[in-house]
């Protein structure tokens, strides 16, 4: 039988996993006492109590939804400005490159038409080629450092915060298999002592969110 919380819960006292069993229609969790020396083995937690403890733990992932939206909009504006600046920079470089190529073509025509001496032609052609190489390198650097679509990444980050923010509510209304699926997304493990949660570890990036909210800012 696939118990909802089995595999996530550990005994804080001895480090052994908590297992579960069905008794008189109710599910109970308890320390496996694998080291044969743990008094917590005698303490049983009904699944309803575990649900309450886990739901309480998911409070660590909650951030004010208005704050999430404010942060999202601010970052979106910042990214939009950065993208616009990058596009403007690339367009400016492309115009400068076009101008350099035109100068190179005119310079060659002038040299072939014997309008300028060879030494002048050589100096000017070298200077223009150096300018062209510099501009092409600048363009390459900008394009390599520009993400494919930073706004898509931002949308994904926002969705992670919203999943975390909704986690407690979704967990409380979910069916057993849905609860386990949600925990597999969010949770590494939690340790229990005296029928209370002593410590909890979330999966990344939710662990970062949990630590951020604990700062209270």
pLDDT at position 206 over 90: yes
pLDDT at 53: 92
Q: Is 182:206 a contact under the CB 8 Å cutoff? A: no
Q: Which residues contact 187 (CB under 8 A, 6 or more apart)?
A: 8, 200, 201, 202, 203
Give the percent of the chain with pLDDT over 70.
Answer: 96
Q: Is 96:135 a contact under the CB 8 Å cutoff? A: yes
Neighbours of 139 (CB within 10 A): 17
Give the pLDDT mean for 179-191: 92
Residue 150 falls in which region: left (phi positive, over 0), alpha (psi -120 to 50) or beta: alpha
Tokens of 93: 């470089």
pLDDT at 2: 80
| Distance between CA atoms of residues 11 and 46, nearest Å | 15
Strands 196-202 and 187-193: antiparallel
Tokens of 117: 């001496």
pTM above 0.85?
no
pLDDT in tens, 107-160: 888 888 888 888 888 989 899 999 999 988 888 887 777 666 778 888 899 999
| Distance between CA atoms of residues 44 and 194, nearest Å | 9
Q: How many helices (H) and strands (E) does the chain have?
A: 6, 6
Q: How far is CA 116 from the centre of its chain?
A: 60
């Amino acid at each position: 039988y696939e118990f909802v919380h089995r595999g996530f819960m550990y005994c804080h006292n001895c480090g052994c996993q908590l297992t579960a069993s069905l008794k008189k229609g109710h599910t109970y969790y308890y320390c496996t006492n694998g080291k044969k020396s743990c008094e917590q083995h005698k303490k049983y937690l009904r699944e309803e109590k575990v649900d309450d403890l886990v739901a309480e733990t998911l409070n660590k992932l909650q951030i004010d939804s208005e704050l999430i939206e404010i942060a999202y909009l601010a970052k979106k504006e910042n990214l939009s400005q950065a993208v616009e600046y990058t596009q403007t920079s690339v367009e400016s470089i492309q115009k400068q490159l076009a101008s350099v190529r035109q100068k190179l073509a005119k310079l060659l025509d002038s040299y072939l038409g014997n309008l300028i001496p060879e030494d002048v032609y050589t100096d000017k052609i070298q200077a223009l080629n150096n300018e062209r190489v510099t501009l092409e390198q600048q363009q390459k650097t900008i394009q390599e450092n520009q993400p494919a679509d930073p706004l898509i990444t931002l949308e994904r980050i926002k969705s992670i915060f919203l999943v975390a923010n909704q986690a407690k509510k979704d967990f409380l209304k979910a069916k057993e298999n849905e609860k386990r699926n949600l925990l597999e997304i969010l949770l590494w493990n939690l340790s229990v002592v005296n029928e209370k949660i002593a410590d909890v570890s979330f999966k990344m990036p939710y662990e970062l969110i949990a630590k951020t909210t604990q700062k209270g800012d």
